[in-house]
Chains A and B, each alone.
Chain A
Amino acid sequence: MASWLTLIFGIMGVINRAHGSVYMIGAYLAWSLAQHLGSFWLAIPAGLALSVALGFVLEWLFIKRLYQRDHLYQVLLTYGLILIFEELRSILWGDDVHGVAVPALLAGSIPLTDTLSYPVYRLWISAVCVALAVGLYLLIQRTRLGMMIRAGAANREMTQSLGINIGWLYRWVFALGVAMAAFAGMIAAPVSSVFPGMGNQVLIVCFVVVVIGGIGSVKGALVAALLIGLADTFGKVVELEIAGIRVLPELAGMSIYLLMAAVLLWRPEGIFGRRLA
């Protein structure tokens, strides 16, 4: 999800704060579609199709007007979208917390020791995320379409003058970005439950990932996501005392922000960001 956020930012120059809301919408879609269609597995493709359509409409109605504008406009507009999505969610689905059942196929656990086990569903999520990350990397780095997308990020006008319809290309990139955010929400629904405001939490972490990895760098986003996952997890389990004061796990909630601060001190442009002039 962070990688698509960084992609949209880096390529299209648009800060999309509504990404977290789309994540939430995805989770609600998974919940309500799974009820209507009777299956989590049917809910996912249906939800994906709906979110691609949503992305198309959003880009066409709002986002395409923002490419040449100052980032402040983008922050304001996408903040407005957050409020609209929250209201829509409230009207459509209410304000209750919901749970989505883990699909039966992945409901088991793998026993690790006598007392520890790991749910199969979480493994499946990891596998799906790795597959998507690899797919995204290949798409951007190895295909002609990816070259065009990167060329558009570097010089929009020149890319057009080579016969490439940038408006159309970006609409697809944005729609896919929206679909990926919604997809993240859908597959997270069975593990995190579905609740109002769930997107905001994720959005903040996403921005941290983007800043650490370097704005506009897909590779950076992937590495940063791993780093943050490690920092967050170890921050909660490692015990660390400095000068007699217990630092960890007491400050675990801050660990990812401390990591961000450290990276920014070391490389202000992020690990894989372009050097600032």
Chain B
Amino acid sequence: MARTSALIEARGLHAHYGASHVLHGVDLVLGAGETIGLMGRNGMGKTTLLRSMLGLLTPSDGQVRIRGADMTGAAPHRVARAGIAFVPEGRGIFPNLSVRENLVMAARAGVRGQRDWTLARVLETFPRLAERLAHGGQQLSGGEQQMLTIGRALMTNPDVLILDEATEGLAPLVAQDIWRILRRVRDTGIGAIVVDKNFSAVSSVADRIVVMVKGRVEYDGAARSLHDDAALRHRLLAV
């Protein structure tokens, strides 16, 4: 019963890409409504960890559980229907669909039947999208595309948002906008795993920071302690 509070957890996860061993027994536990900042330099296994948890990659060993149920290697649509929404690196909008269609096609009630996020509420959160409803997905700026992917993820009424490099390549002002929105979303009780390289921005939304080095978790604790320990921060993140 001790684990019932964990919404999604990875236990002793190993993963391979061909011959290369990318994850070496990773543990990650996210409680309901909690936000984790997942950090680490390039090639440390962050994206592989997320993909293993999302069913996009079958781990070679270890377990993925959602609300205590074993979901290791489950199909991605089952993970999504368990309340886990993915905002991938590179945005992943559907360029052949309009903004409205991108949002509407994803609409679904959440795991508990909740319909908190409707088209109207998403458009209220992202006014820029409201002005561009009829535009094709490929006509949007980078920032707008990112807002669209986040809005689309919210349309599935998830319990957890998983964001991989959500502000990568965006202008600083636009990135600030995204962080402000993420804080608002967090305050509605949706949990998140946020991968990003910007330590101060990540610590502004995250309850906990997890740092990965070479396929292992090297730090899992409060953002504050990592912030205060400059030497540790430099060793783990080179910042």
* A contact residues vs B (CB 8 Å cutoff): 144, 147-148, 150-151, 153-155, 157-167
13 contacts between A and B (CB under 8 A): A148-B105, A151-B105, A154-B95, A155-B92, A157-B76, A158-B94, A159-B94, A160-B75, A160-B76, A162-B77, A162-B106, A165-B75, A167-B75
Q: When A and B form their complex, which 3 residue pairs have the shortest distance between CB atoms, in order from nearest?
A: A163-B80, A147-B105, A160-B76
Take A162-B80, A163-B81, A166-B77 as given contacts and tell me if A147 and B88 are in contact as well, using a CB distance cutoff of 8 Å: no
| Interface core residue of B76, B80, B85, B107 (most chain A CB under 10 Å) | B76
Q: Which residues of B contact A150 (CB under 8 A)?
A: 94, 96-97, 101
Take A150-B97, A154-B96 as given contacts and tell me if A160 and B80 are in contact as well, using a CB distance cutoff of 8 Å: yes
Q: Is the pair A161, B94 in contact by a Cβ cutoff of 8 Å?
A: no
Whole-angstrom distance from the CB of A17 to the nearest CB of chain B?
26
Take A148-B105, A155-B92 as given contacts and tell me if A162 and B97 are in contact as well, using a CB distance cutoff of 8 Å: no
Whole-angstrom distance from the CB of A142 to the nearest CB of chain B?
10
Q: Is the pair B77, A160 in contact by a Cβ cutoff of 8 Å?
A: yes
| Interface core residue of B75, B80, B94 (most chain A CB under 10 Å) | B94
Besides the known contacts A157-B56, A161-B80, A164-B77, 4 further A-B residue pairs in the complex with CB atoms under 8 A apart = A147-B104, A151-B105, A154-B95, A155-B94
Q: Is the pair B76, A154 in contact by a Cβ cutoff of 8 Å?
A: no
Whole-angstrom distance from the CB of B95 to the nearest CB of chain A?
6
Q: Which residues of B contact A148 (CB under 8 A)?
A: 105
Q: Is the pair B94, A163 in contact by a Cβ cutoff of 8 Å?
A: no
Whole-angstrom distance from the CB of B21 to the nearest CB of chain A?
23
Q: Which residues of A contact B105 (CB under 8 A)?
A: 144, 147-148, 151, 162
Distance between Cα atoms of A165 and B76 in the complex (Å): 8
Against A, the Cβ 8 Å flags (1 = close, 0 = not) of B198-221 are: 000000000000000000000000
Chain B: interface residue total (CB-CB under 8 A) = 26
Q: Is the pair A163, B56 in contact by a Cβ cutoff of 8 Å?
A: no
* B contact residues vs A (CB 8 Å cutoff): 54, 56, 75-77, 79-81, 85-86, 88, 92, 94-97, 101-102, 104-108, 152-153, 156
Whole-angstrom distance from the CB of B160 to the nearest CB of chain A?
13
Q: Which residues of A contact B97 (CB under 8 A)?
A: 147, 150-151, 154
Q: Which residues of A contact B54 (CB under 8 A)?
A: 161
Take A154-B94, A154-B95, A166-B77 as given contacts and tell me if A161 and B86 are in contact as well, using a CB distance cutoff of 8 Å: yes
Distance between Cα atoms of A243 and B102 in the complex (Å): 56
Q: Which residues of A contact B75 (CB under 8 A)?
A: 160, 165, 167
Whole-angstrom distance from the CB of B209 to the nearest CB of chain A?
25
A154 and chain B: residue at smallest CB distance:
B94
Distance between Cα atoms of A163 and B95 in the complex (Å): 19
Partner of B156, one of A153, A158, A163, A167: A163
Q: Which residues of B contact A157 (CB under 8 A)?
A: 56, 76, 92
Distance between Cα atoms of A148 and B95 in the complex (Å): 13
Distance between Cα atoms of A161 and B94 in the complex (Å): 13
Whole-angstrom distance from the CB of A113 to the nearest CB of chain B?
48
A147 and chain B: residue at smallest CB distance:
B105
Q: Which residues of B contact A147 (CB under 8 A)?
A: 97, 101, 104-105
Q: Which residues of A contact B106 (CB under 8 A)?
A: 162-163
Q: Which residues of B contact A160 (CB under 8 A)?
A: 75-77, 80
Q: Which residues of B contact A162 (CB under 8 A)?
A: 77, 80, 85, 105-106, 152-153, 156
Whole-angstrom distance from the CB of B49 to the nearest CB of chain A?
15
Q: Which residues of A contact B104 (CB under 8 A)?
A: 144, 147
Distance between Cα atoms of A150 and B97 in the complex (Å): 7
Q: Is the pair B94, A151 in contact by a Cβ cutoff of 8 Å?
A: yes
Distance between Cα atoms of A154 and B94 in the complex (Å): 6
Whole-angstrom distance from the CB of B29 to the nearest CB of chain A?
21
Distance between Cα atoms of A148 and B96 in the complex (Å): 11
Distance between Cα atoms of A119 and B101 in the complex (Å): 43
Distance between Cα atoms of A155 and B76 in the complex (Å): 13
